[in-house]
Chain A
Amino acid sequence: MHEFSIACEIFEQVMTTAKEHGATEVKHVTLQMGRLSHTNPEQLSFCFKVLSEESIAENADFIVEMIPPSLECECGYTGTVDEEKIRENCEFKSELLAYAAVMECPICGKPAQITGGRELIIKSIEIETEDQN
C-alpha cells in the first residue's frame, strides 16, 4: 500500500511549512488529487490521521479535491475529459477504466496524450498562530 509512504511525505511537508509559519495548530490540509493517480483518498486520509497523532496536525481536516484528466492531441486540441460523458458511460465498471478508455481526442478521435490527472498536490494548509505572529 503506497498511501502510507505518500502520507509520510505529506505529513513531513505539512509540518515543515506549519513550523516555518509559527503554527500552533494545523486546522486544514487541502490536497488536489488527479483522478488517474493510483491513490485512495480515504486510505490516505486514514494514514495521515495515524501519522499526525499527538502532533499539531492531530485534529486537521483532510480535504481532497479531485482533478479531472486533461488531454493534448497532435491536432492541436487541449482540454479536460468530459466528466458528464464518463458518468453516462455505464458499461465501464471502474471509474479508472472509464477514464482510460475515453482518452481520445474529442475533435479528431485519435488517441490523445494525457497531460494532467495524475497529480497529487498539497495545495494549502490552514494554520492557527499566536497573535504576535
Chain B
Amino acid sequence: MLMHVIDMGHDVYKANDKVAEKNKKKLDKYQVFSVNVMGAIGSGKTTLIEEVIRQLKDKYKIAVIAGDVIAEMDSSRFRKLDVPTIPVNTGKECHLDAKLVEKALDEIDLNNTDLLLIENVGNLICPVDFKLGEHLRVVIVSVTEGDDIILKHPMIFKTSDLAVINKVDIAHAVDVDAEKMRDDILSLNPNVPVILTSKHDWESLETWISFIELGVKESQNR
C-alpha cells in the first residue's frame, strides 16, 4: 500500500462562475439585458417583475426565467402577461445556478429578446454564492420581514447592484421603519442604489421600472 497526496485546487464556486461568464457572453452577443431578482419568499419579487412586464412589454421584447422549488404558480402569472416564460424547478435546491440558467437559455429565442428577467428561488442566503451570468443583481426585501432582516443577511446586500425595499405602504402597520432599513443597507454597501416601493404607489413603481429600462437601453447601445 502506498499513500499519495494529490493536489486538486478545484474551486466549486469558480466552476459555477465559469458557466455564468459563458451565459453572460451569450446574452451580450444578443444584446439581452438580464436581471437576477433575489429576495425572500413573499417579498414581492413576482409582483414587481409583473409590473416591469406590464409597463415595458410594448417597448421591448421580454422573456422570463421563473425559478421555484417545485410549483409553477409564478410562471403561470408571467405567462398570463403574454411573455415567453421558462419555469425552472430546482427540486430540492434553494437557488438557481448558472447551469440551470444555461439550460433555460437554450429554450429562449434570444434574437427576439431585449430583457431577460430571472426570478430566483425565494431566500436571502443561497442565491448569493451562485452567479447566473446576469447584468444586474437585484435584492428585494419587504418591510414585513422586519427591520432587522438586512443586518441578518449582510452578504446579499453587499453583493447586489440594486436594493428594493417593498411594501413600504404597510410599514407602520407592521411597526417597521423603512428608513432604518435603507440606512442598514447603505451601511453595508454605501454605493448601492436603494428604491422604496409599494404596489399601491405608482410613482415608486415608475422608479423601479425606469431603473430596469435604463439597463436595457444601455445594453442596446453597447
Question: With the chains together, A115 CA to B9 CA distance in Å?
Answer: 18
Question: With the chains together, A18 CA to B6 CA distance in Å?
Answer: 8
Task: Indicate if B173 sits at the interface (CB-CB under 8 A).
Answer: no
Question: With the chains together, A130 CA to B1 CA distance in Å?
Answer: 5
Question: With the chains together, A13 CA to B11 CA distance in Å?
Answer: 10
Task: Indicate if B45 sits at the interface (CB-CB under 8 A).
Answer: no
| Neighbouring B residues of A10 by C-beta, 8 Å | 12
Contact with B along A92-133 (1 / 0, CB 8 A): 001011001101000000010010001111111111111101
DSSP majority for the B interface?
mixed
Task: Indicate if B149 sits at the interface (CB-CB under 8 A).
Answer: no
Question: Which of A1-9, A54-62, A75-83 is the contact stretch?
Answer: A1-9
Question: With the chains together, A11 CA to B151 CA distance in Å?
Answer: 34
| Neighbouring B residues of A37 by C-beta, 8 Å | 13, 129
Contact with A along B207-222 (1 / 0, CB 8 A): 0000000000000000
Q: Are B94 and A1 in contact (CB under 8 A)?
A: yes
Closest to B190 in A: A111
Contact with A along B1-41 (1 / 0, CB 8 A): 11111111111111100000000000000000000000000
Q: Are A2 and B11 in contact (CB under 8 A)?
A: no
A39 to chain B, nearest CB (A): 7
Q: Of A24, A96, A126, A130, which one neighbours B155 at CB under 8 angstroms?
A: A96
Q: Are A129 and B7 in contact (CB under 8 A)?
A: no
Contact with B along A6-36 (1 / 0, CB 8 A): 1001100110011001011001000000001
Task: Indicate if A85 sits at the interface (CB-CB under 8 A).
Answer: no
Q: Are B1 and A121 in contact (CB under 8 A)?
A: no
Q: Are A13 and B10 in contact (CB under 8 A)?
A: yes
B147 to chain A, nearest CB (A): 15
Q: Are B12 and A131 in contact (CB under 8 A)?
A: no
Task: Indicate if A38 sits at the interface (CB-CB under 8 A).
Answer: yes
Interface residues, chain A, with chain B CB atoms under 8 Å away: 1-2, 4-6, 9-10, 13-14, 17-18, 21, 23-24, 27, 36-39, 94, 96-97, 100-101, 103, 111, 114, 118-131, 133
